[in-house]
Amino acid sequence: MDIVLNAVQTVFALENLIFLVGGVASGVILGAIPGLSATMGIALIIPFTLTLGPVPALLMMMGAYKGGIYGGSVAAILVKAPGTSAAAATVADGYSLAKKGKGIKALKVSLVASVIGDTFSDIVLILSAAQLARVALEFGAVEYTAVAIVALTIVGSASGKSLIKGIFAAAAGLSVALIGLDPTSGLPRLSFSVIEFYGGLHLLPMLIGLLIMSELIIQMEQVKSVSVAHLPNSTERDDNRITKSDAKLMARPIFGGSIIGTIIGIIPGLGPTLGAFLGYDSAYRFSKKPELFGKGSVEGIAGAESGNNAVSGANLIPLMGLGIPGDIEAAILVGAFLIHGLTPGPLIFQEAPDVVYGIYVGLLFANVALLMIGWTLIPVFVKAAKIRVGLLFPAVFVLSLVGAYSFQQSVFDVGIALVFAAVGYLMAKLHVPKTSFLIGFILATLLEDNFRRSLQLSDGAYSTFFSSSLGNVLWVLALVSVISAILQRKSRRDKKEAMMSNREIETIASNGKV
Amino acid sequence: MNIKLKKIALSAAIGLAALTSGMAQAETFPEKEVTVVVNYGAGGGTDLSTRSLAEAMEEALGKPLKVVNRSGGSGTVGPTFVAFADNDGYTIGVTSFSPMAVTPHMQDVPYKVDSFRYLGGFARYLTGIAVPADSPYKTTQDLIDAAKSGANIKYGAASSIESVAITRLATAAGVEFKWIRYKSGQEVSTAALSKEVDVIVGDPKEIAPFVKTGEMRAIASASNVRLPGLPDVLTLKEQGFDVATESYAGIAAPAGIDEDKAAILEAAMKEAFKAQSFQDTLTKLGLEPAYFSGAEYQKLIEDGFADMGADLAALGITKK
């Protein structure tokens, strides 16, 4: 008990509080700016934290991480340009709501879902890090291969109208991810002897081109033709708040998203973007109004945003329980632990319990800080998005270029962003779903690495893929997911056809022709 | 007092360098900020140790050092950037062993060993060999015996150099082990904990904590010295296998830099190496502080490049 009280005291010491709140605020703002990301925020903060004590340093970085994941949804909703890859799943519904004048409602839904997802996974972390961390050890190469396949099946619901185009886009994403070093031999592949290709294409510059810059081009076209300028601002009170019926709708997707995000966080190597897509997918599958998805569904935003934030707390579970970082952000945190003479892992509970409890208390408080800071900033963001389109678009465009460059100070990455701006433009014109492309790209490395490693471990015997019971459960899950996606598509098509034919009959009848 | 003494010693060193050169240009070097290029991402061992070195060098040079990360291409992008930077002394960077002596055998890189004027080495990366705690193989000899009697021993390792370390052992003992490649040291540790592989090769900081928790057993140091935090674990040489593999971190300027400027930078690095804060940081990061002069470091890279060529060819992972 003493140690908890001490931890509370540490966290609420004015200095530490400033770093924590400062971390959350800078995360929200960096995440909200299209092109800058949570990872980048943490990387920027590192040199600054070297001189701090371990608790404030880690709290600042984790605050920035949490803030950044929520912040990413701000630009996704208001400008249709996701600030981070984890916000990609929020774009369609968030922006649709904003177009209807319900931008503030969408932001509030996103914030509340983010904070609940965060809090849920933090509590799971605090109560059971040591036990749950062992779960990560159940995942070997075979299980990861199966997880990647399960995750790929969400292409079924992420593809929108045409499943064929969705599958095509996912395959294209998988293929593009093959550029770089071969994971087994370490030799370069599809690199055309261009040294920058050796490291593979990075998600961030590609995302900036594909989702942000291409979107700007499309919106600029519309500016010319219909002179759309600002998002409408509804004066209806209900359009600017979470109503009782919204809250009812949000409950289930947030619950689902929090659980899914937490599971994704526990398994190292999956990350918040996948948490968002899977949270969105589950919201869609269990929704009573699936037809609203992609056109302004509150449930969709709630599922995606709780899903990605729940990863942030849970990915500390393997870090604290085993010493294994769950994603890039957690790997950066390892460095922060080491520089302060601490080794993350089970021993830290004995060696530095004060740090552990400081982090726990700090994480919970960071969620409160996120809620308060996020809520206060909503009108600011809305106002910022309202500046003249002639200023806003060039500003976002420049920020995108800066973001692509500053990720690893590379002009090559700016080129990548520009190429994918063109690719994204074409995809939008041809109605090829970009999210499917992204899902393919994100999962490719996980799938290929583990598929090939499984075969290496089994000396080439394919039967290895069905040799573990956890793996087999996952295969069944993948199968169920595919079948249910097909059935859902079919039932929606039938409904549509039924509606269509009714309308046709009416039209025909009203025209007086038989 | 101590710091003052150090400063005097350093100004003496710098003064000497300037005197011997007698060149006006070098006397005032550096006049502005010096950029230090790190070839790996922010927050990793190389990044954090270089930042600490840069901080200590700042004190020695009297001008700020700006650390930038140019990661990618298995650590080769950073040295490329340095090799093609202006050789005015204001851009230097990390030329660690792996991108200099190992990767060029596997990929085309736009630089050569002599594209740089080496300023010195500051750390030794150590390599350990470990098995899951309840593994039937308790010692190095057990692994070799098992392989001799037909067992297919699989080892997990993330980098080529770690793979070379255990392959040298296998070759010396006349057996073969199979490499299962992982993306990072953490993945390798996980593979040992989940017993996906029989044995792992890795950084001591990815082994020592798990030995402490009783989940791994370290069976050897593959380096010339024993591992930090594991003083009882013998080196392969001490166990009677005449092999050792080491890797180093060092910094360099582009070739063709004014020799007087290079001498100033080299002296500053030598001085910075002695700083207690730097030594502490290295130890915390699981690296062994080891100083090499510019010339010594160049020899390490040259010899390493030749040795690695043969070893990697034996592993079958060289280009073409």
More confident residue, A496 or B24: A496
Q: Where exactly are the structural domains of chain A?
A: 2-462, 468-514
Select the residue of A181, A193, A409 nearest B74 (Cβ to Cβ).
A181
What whole-number distance in Å separates Cα of residue B187 and Cα of residue B184? 5
Q: Which of residues 155-194 of A touch B (CB under 8 A)?
A: 181, 183-188, 193
The residues, any chain, with a CB within 8 Å of residue B285's CB and separated by 6 or more, are A338, A339, B45, B48, B49, B205
The residues, any chain, with a CB within 8 Å of residue A133's CB and separated by 6 or more, are A266, A317, A318, A320, A321, A322, A324, A346
Q: Length of chain A, please?
A: 514
Select the residue of B43, B178, B197 nearest A332 (Cβ to Cβ).
B43
A512 reaches B (C-beta below 8 A): no
Contact residues on chain A for B38, CB-CB shorter than 8 A: none
Residue type, A391: L
Residue type, A475: W
pLDDT tens readout for residues A368-383 = 999 999 999 999 998 8
Q: pLDDT at residue A452 above 70?
A: yes
pLDDT of residue B318: 81
Dmax of chain B from CA atoms?
70
Residue type, A2: D
**ipTM attached to this prediction:** 0.78
Residues in a beta bridge with A181: A188
Q: Are A342 and A355 in contact (CB under 8 A)?
A: yes
Q: Are B203 and B193 in contact (CB under 8 A)?
A: no
Helix A2-12 to helix A14-32 angle (10° resolution) is 60
Q: Are A8 and A186 in contact (CB under 8 A)?
A: no
* Banded pLDDT at A512 (limits 50, 70, 90): very low
Residue type, B251: I
Closest residue on chain A to B285 (Cα):
A338
pLDDT of residue A170: 93
Q: Which of A184, A267, A339, A406 to mutate to test the interface with B (most CBs of B within 10 A)?
A: A339
* Banded pLDDT at A472 (limits 50, 70, 90): very high
Contact residues on chain B for A333, CB-CB shorter than 8 A: 43
pLDDT of residue A70: 92
pLDDT of residue A218: 86
Residue type, B88: D
pLDDT of residue A224: 59
What whole-number distance in Å separates Cα of residue B70 and Cα of residue A90? 32
Q: Are A355 and A320 in contact (CB under 8 A)?
A: no
Decide if B209 and A332 are in contact by the 8 Å CB cutoff.
no
Residue type, A296: G
What whole-number distance in Å separates Cα of residue A238 and Cα of residue B113? 68
Contact residues on chain A for B153, CB-CB shorter than 8 A: none
Q: Which of B76, B115, B196 to mutate to test the interface with A (most CBs of A within 10 A)?
A: B196
Decide if B319 and A187 are in contact by the 8 Å CB cutoff.
yes
pLDDT of residue A313: 85
pLDDT of residue B25: 52
pLDDT of residue B1: 46
pLDDT tens readout for residues A65-83 = 889 889 989 989 998 888 7
CA nearest A76: which of A39, A119, A31? A31
Residue type, A243: T
Q: Which of residues 190-219 of A touch B (CB under 8 A)?
A: 193, 195-196, 198-199
pLDDT of residue A260: 95
Decide if B190 and A195 are in contact by the 8 Å CB cutoff.
no
Contact residues on chain A for B152, CB-CB shorter than 8 A: 459
Q: pLDDT at residue A513 above 50?
A: no
A444 reaches B (C-beta below 8 A): no
Q: Which residues of chain B have pLDDT under 50?
A: 1, 18-19, 21-24
Closest residue on chain A to B153 (Cα):
A457
* Banded pLDDT at A226 (limits 50, 70, 90): very low
Q: Are A216 and A396 in contact (CB under 8 A)?
A: yes
The residues, any chain, with a CB within 8 Å of residue A225's CB and separated by 6 or more, are none
Contact residues on chain B for A183, CB-CB shorter than 8 A: 181, 183
Q: pLDDT at residue A500 above 70?
A: no
Residues in a beta bridge with B178: B154
What is the C-alpha radius of gyration for chain B, rounded to an integer number of angstroms? 21
User: Per CATH, is B2-125+246-315 categorized as 3.40.50.10470?
Assistant: no
pLDDT of residue A188: 78
- Residue B317 has a CB neighbour count (10 Å cut-off) of 21
User: Quick one: average pLDDT of A224-228?
Assistant: 50
- Residue B39 has a CB neighbour count (10 Å cut-off) of 29
Q: Where exactly are the structural domains of chain B?
A: 2-125+246-315, 128-221
Contact residues on chain B for A324, CB-CB shorter than 8 A: 186, 189-190
What whole-number distance in Å separates Cα of residue A412 and Cα of residue A417? 9
For chain A, what is the mean pLDDT? 85
Tell me if the pTM is above 0.90.
no
pLDDT of residue A309: 92
Closest residue on chain A to B215 (Cα):
A322
The residues, any chain, with a CB within 8 Å of residue A237's CB and separated by 6 or more, are none
In this complex, how many residue pairs, one in chain A and one in chain B, have their CB atoms less than 8 Å apart? 134
Q: Are A87 and A73 in contact (CB under 8 A)?
A: yes
- Residue B163 has a CB neighbour count (10 Å cut-off) of 25
pLDDT of residue A503: 53
Q: pLDDT at residue A320 above 90?
A: no
Decide if B51 and A50 are in contact by the 8 Å CB cutoff.
yes
3 state SS of B230:
strand
CA distances from A178 to A248, A434, B277 (A): 43, 18, 42
User: Quick one: average pLDDT of A19-31?
Assistant: 91
To the nearest whole Å, the CA of A419 is away from the closest chain B CA by 20
Segment (H or E) for B218: strand B216-221
HSE, side-chain direction, 13 A CA sphere, residue A68: 29
CATH classification (class only), B128-221: alpha beta
What whole-number distance in Å separates Cα of residue A228 and Cα of residue A225? 8
Select the residue of B73, B191, B285 nearest A198 (Cβ to Cβ).
B73
Q: Which of A145, A456, A459, A467 to mutate to test the interface with B (most CBs of B within 10 A)?
A: A456
Structure tokens at A153: 């099946």
pLDDT of residue A514: 36
pLDDT of residue B262: 96
Q: Length of chain B, please?
A: 320
Q: Which of A40, A457, A468 to mutate to test the interface with B (most CBs of B within 10 A)?
A: A457
To the nearest whole Å, the CA of B30 is away from the closest chain A CA by 23
Decide if B48 and A338 are in contact by the 8 Å CB cutoff.
yes
pLDDT of residue A228: 47
HSE, side-chain direction, 13 A CA sphere, residue B18: 14
To the nearest whole Å, the CA of A279 is away from the closest chain B CA by 26
CA nearest A287: which of A274, A272, A277, A302? A302
To the nearest whole Å, the CA of A265 is away from the closest chain B CA by 16
Decide if B77 and A195 are in contact by the 8 Å CB cutoff.
yes
Least confident of A177-186, A493-502, B281-290, B311-320: A493-502
* Banded pLDDT at A362 (limits 50, 70, 90): very high
Closest residue on chain A to B70 (Cα):
A408
Q: Which of residues 92-131 of A touch B (CB under 8 A)?
A: none
Q: Are A330 and A38 in contact (CB under 8 A)?
A: no
Residues in a beta bridge with B128: B202, B221
Q: What percent of chain A has pLDDT over 90?
A: 38
Decide if B180 and A336 are in contact by the 8 Å CB cutoff.
no
